[in-house]
Structure formats: C-alpha cells, structure tokens
Amino acid sequence: MNPASARLAHDVGSRALAWLHAHREYGTLDRLIDSYLGEDADAYKALGETALAASLVLRGGLAGAADLERARDLLDFGWAQLGEGSLLYERLLRHPLHTDPLELYLPFARAGYRYPPLDRLLAHTRTLPSVHAVEMLPNRRLAIANALRVTGFDDGGRTTDWAALARATWLGNTPEPWNIDWITGYTVTHTVFHLTDWGALPDGLPKNLAGYVANWLPVWTNVWAEIGQWDLMVELMIVGACLPEPQITTDAWQRLAGLQHDDGLVPRDGEPVEEDPARRFHAHQHPTVVAAVAGTLALMRTLDTPRPA
C-alpha cells in the first residue's frame, strides 16, 4: 500500500468514524427494555456494528487522538445502552440458545468491558449440550467460534477445529467462483472475517482458501462495484486486508473516497440517499461502519502489525 492509498484509507475511515460518532444517538434503544428480551435481535444491530468498528480502532491503536477518543465514546455509549452488560445477561438468561448476547459482547470484551454475571452465565451455557447442538449455517458457527475466542470462553482453543469449520462453508469448498451470488458474497466475507478475527490472525485462513480468494477477490469486487452494491464492495475490501498477503489497492480506495459524502456517510448502493437524518442513519449506518473497519484494517496491515484479540 503506497502512501497515497494509506492517506485515502485513513481519511475515509476517520470520516466514517466521525459520522458514526456524530449520529450515535440514532442507535439508542428507545423502546421498553422488555422488548429487547424477546425473539428479535435486530434491535441491537446498529449498536453491535458500531461497537465492532470502534473496538477495532482501539485494537489497532493507529488512529489519531481524536479518533481514539471517538471510538471510546462510541463504546461507552453502547455499553450504557446495554445496561453495562445487564441487558445481555437478561436476554441470555431467558433465551440460552440465542447467540446474539455472546456476539454483541465480543467488541466490548475486546475493548475491556466485562460484566461478571454475564461471564458466569456464558461459562455455564457453554457446558450445555443443547447449546452446542443448535443448528445454524456454517459461517455462523465460525462467528460463534470467534466470539468465544475473543471473549475467552473457547477453552484456549483446544476443542475448536477451525479447519473443519472452514471446510463446511461455501468458501471452504472453493466452488466455481462465477456461481457466487449476493448473499453468498456476504457469507464469504464473514467466513474470512471470523477465521482471521478481522485481520488480526491472517494465517487463520487456510492456504488453499487464501489462494482462491486472492485470485478471485478483484473480480468479485469489480462485479459489485459495477452494479453499485457499495456495501458488499467495501466488505470485500476488508477481505483484501485480512489475507496473509493483503490486497489493498489505490484504485479501490479512490473509488470508495469518491463515493463517500462530505459528512462521512458511505451509501449502501447507487440509490438516492434520504435527506431525513434518522432515515439516513438506519439506511446507511452499516456501509459507513464497514468503511470505518476497512480503513482501520488497511492501515493495520500496511504496517504488518496484526494485533492479538
């Protein structure tokens, strides 16, 4: 990654983080707390995504003082929204087969936020056969395995067969790359994210998969860029930063910088962006999170200093 690309990645990521910070109140859990203890995990979605981006900024430690402060503010805000972990505890207590309390705990635990009652409950639920037998897509099993690894509930990795988990995914079968579709594209990106813990462990991606992705990633990225699916395009840019030999190109960063709005928002696709602030947030918060993550990981891998979880 040349200096010009590094500057673009820094600027795009910094502006995205600033936008998330400025609009964080739109992610407030503003309904009755009991509504978040039911079946629907979508209420946590914006909080969890923003917390992930902020935790990776702090993990990398490469941002400027203002961005580090914004990242900590975002985590403090999200943690307060979750009752400093008590809401996650109550949800897991009522729904021990749900995975979202553990997954949402991950970015906070990564940054040093812990809730001891939740720790004890997670340690207990991980011993239950019913929890291990829950049926889910293979890339989702990887998400849980990485969440357990980061939060410290994976028994030191002694019983986690990462190779088997990888082989069970679409990517793990290295199928015909031209048969990838939109939703499969997302499963591929997340398979890479979880195997490498968002670029911190690039060698966690098996060599045959790393070679397959390295060959086809430019094609996939260009396909979704051409049809204006910016959200998936930027997720694929993150994949490039997670590879053992990272793919971080000036062209991709120039394209993303050109798409980003002056206030830091990154649109999800080629459709017009809403003017209402709340609707703008809910429609485009995710691609803006993805842009913040992409900038963070591009800089981290440029210096070749992947940090442990």
What's 59's domain CATH number?
1.50.10
User: Per the structure, how many domains does the chain have?
Assistant: 1
Query: pLDDT tens digit string along 253-306?
Result: 999 999 999 999 999 999 999 999 999 999 999 999 999 999 999 999 988 744
CA pair distance 142, 75, nearest whole angstrom: 24
Determine the average pLDDT of the residues in 66-87.
96
In a domain, 307, yes or no: no
Q: Compute the chain's Rg from CA coordinates.
A: 19
* 130 occurs within a structural domain: yes
pTM (two decimals) = 0.94
Residue 251 resides in a domain = yes
pLDDT at 40: 66
pLDDT band at residue 20 using 50, 70 and 90 as cut-offs: very high
Q: Is residue 309 part of a domain?
A: no
Is residue 89 situated within a structural domain?
A: yes
Q: What is the per-residue pLDDT for 229?
A: 97
Residue 175 phi, psi dihedral angles, 5° rounding:
-75, -175
Q: Reduced to 3 states, what is the DSSP secondary structure of residue 132?
A: helix
Give the pLDDT confidence of 148-200 residue by residue, as tens digits. Answer: 999 999 987 778 899 999 999 999 999 999 999 999 999 999 999 999 999 99
Boundaries of domain holding 84 = 3-302
Mean pLDDT of 64-79: 97
Residue 50 falls within a domain, yes or no?
A: yes
The whole-number pLDDT of residue 133 equals 94
Domain annotation covers residue 308: no
Q: Residue 56 and residue 150: Cα distance in Å, rounded? A: 12
Residue 101 lies in a domain: yes
